[in-house]
Amino acid sequence: MNVQTATFGKLPDGREAQLFTLTNDSGLIVKITNYGGIITSIEMPDKNGTKENIACGFDDLESYLNQDYLENYPYFGAIIGRYGNRIAKGQLEIGGKSYPLAVNNGPNHLHGGLTGFDKRMWNAEIIEREDAVGIKLSYHSPHLEEKYPGNLDVSCTYLLNNKNELIIDYTATTDELTVVNLTNHTYFNLTAGKKNILDHELKLNSERMTEMSDQIPTGEIIGTTDSPFDFSEFKTFSKDLDKLPTGYDDNFVLNNENGELIHAGTLRENSSGRNVEVYTTQPGIQLYTGYWIPELVIDGEKKFGRYSGVALETQHYPDSVHQPHFPSTMLQPAETYKETSIYKFITE
């Protein structure tokens, strides 16, 4: 196992981003940049031994700064924070005070605001252990950055081991009562982009979801059995697509309020033989099938577009700040936020 470091590109202000390439003994390769903590590439073999990238991403920093990409920004591979998913109308009330957050997704606040953790430069520290290699990314988010209260110190550690597991550990501490909901926004395409993801199959260890109205929870938790949202057995995304004009963008309940590390679900694609198993300590998983991913022209070639990747975002429920009976996203100064998610890559 080893870690290699290379220059990834420069921001307009001259700061240089790095690309860290993690390789395990079986040849699984994960590439991560400290700009936005973005997973840019995951190279794994198919059932014939052909190794290809199964994550939506780019080979250079310039492409992540491209205006065509930013105009329909799909958050490829990034760390999401301070608050993943939506907060209704950007209204945040904490400790009797109101904090008007950016409204950047219709009438709502999404994924930490206009310049969330996905667009920040993180400090990076290489990790080399007998059982894993990786990087520890850290970032200090000052009080009222994107209007959130409290100085927040965040770390995100990516570890790759010889079990073909990519382990993501998040921690955060604050000096003032605040909210935190961190996740990763990698989009998977197990055909390596040869086809869209509609014939991928998903099985979730969930039989409930947050009922949604215009992408915001109503507060009700509803069953999914015998509905288009039933993934209790493996099912293709295309099966019920005629009932869902823009595909899936929904939060599934994992019955994990105690924060144990559980198996949340498995994504698979038969023609490649590739599987991704998802484990998490989080109470929910947001399934997004990428309806709004933009089609881009890169080096004269059309890439991505609608349904080109699927995101499996382990997190707390959307708009938890307005639903006291949801698992809490509040963080006290005396507490440490800790969550873990694991993506395990298997070729049948």
- The CATH number of whichever domain residue 236 belongs to comes to 2.70.98.10
Q: What is the mean pLDDT of residues 13-24?
A: 98
In the predicted structure, residue 241 carries a pLDDT above the cut 90: yes
Assign residue 290 a region: left if phi > 0, alpha if psi is -120 to 50, beta otherwise? left
User: Has 313 been annotated as catalytic?
Assistant: yes
Note the pLDDT of residue 228.
98
What's the distance, CA 324 to chain centroid? 24
Closest to 264 in 3D by CA, of 273, 274, 251: 251
CA end-to-end span of the chain, whole Å? 23
3-state secondary structure of 147: helix
Q: How does residue 62 score in pLDDT terms, banded at 50, 70 and 90? A: very high
Note the pLDDT of residue 258.
93
Burial class of 310 by CB neighbour count within 10 A (0 to 12, 13 to 18, 19+)? buried
Q: Which of 109, 111, 185, 200 is catalytic?
A: 185
**Average pLDDT of the chain to the nearest whole number:** 97
Note the pLDDT of residue 324.
96
Q: In angstroms, how far apart are the furthest CA atoms of the chain? A: 59
Half-sphere exposure of 250 (CA within 13 A, CB side): 25
In the predicted structure, residue 253 carries a pLDDT above the cut 90: yes
In the predicted structure, residue 299 carries a pLDDT above the cut 90: no
In the predicted structure, residue 277 carries a pLDDT above the cut 90: yes
Note the pLDDT of residue 282.
98
Whole-angstrom Cα distance, residue 43 to residue 54?
6
* Domains held by the chain: number: 1
Q: Note if the bond before 82 is cis, omega within 30 degrees.
A: yes
Closest to 177 in 3D by CA, of 150, 195, 159: 150
Q: Which domain holds residue 142?
A: 2-347
Q: How does residue 17 score in pLDDT terms, banded at 50, 70 and 90? A: very high
What's the distance, CA 110 to chain centroid? 13
Closest to 308 in 3D by CA, of 184, 199, 183: 199
pTM: predicted TM-score of the whole model, two decimal places: 0.97
Note the pLDDT of residue 156.
98
3-state secondary structure of 170: strand
Are 264 and 340 a contacting pair, CB within 8 Å?
no
Note the pLDDT of residue 27.
95
Note the pLDDT of residue 226.
97
What letter would DSSP give residue 121? B
Q: How does residue 41 score in pLDDT terms, banded at 50, 70 and 90? A: very high
Are 150 and 179 a contacting pair, CB within 8 Å?
no
In the predicted structure, residue 56 carries a pLDDT above the cut 90: yes
Q: How does residue 269 score in pLDDT terms, banded at 50, 70 and 90? A: very high
Structure tokens that stand for 142 in this block? 């000052």
Q: How does residue 300 score in pLDDT terms, banded at 50, 70 and 90? A: confident
Note the pLDDT of residue 298.
81
22 strand-pairing partners: 3, 30
9 strand-pairing partners: 17
β-pairing, 249-253 with 208-213? antiparallel
Whole-angstrom Cα distance, residue 241 to residue 229?
10
Query: Residue type for 104, please?
Result: N
Q: Which of 145, 201, 269, 313 is catalytic?
A: 313
Give the percent of the chain with pLDDT over 70. Answer: 100
Q: How does residue 301 score in pLDDT terms, banded at 50, 70 and 90? A: confident
Note the pLDDT of residue 61.
98
User: Has 233 been annotated as catalytic?
Assistant: no
**89-113 pLDDT per residue, tens:** 999 999 899 999 999 999 999 999 9
In the predicted structure, residue 256 carries a pLDDT above the cut 90: yes
Q: What is the DSSP string of 286-318?
A: EEE--TTPPEEEETTEEEE-TTS-EEEEEESPT
3-state secondary structure of 217: strand
Q: What is the mean pLDDT of residues 229-237?
A: 98
Are 50 and 149 a contacting pair, CB within 8 Å?
no
**110-169 pLDDT per residue, tens:** 999 999 999 999 999 999 999 999 999 999 999 999 999 999 999 999 999 999 999 999
Whole-angstrom Cα distance, residue 101 to residue 83?
11
What's the distance, CA 340 to chain centroid? 12
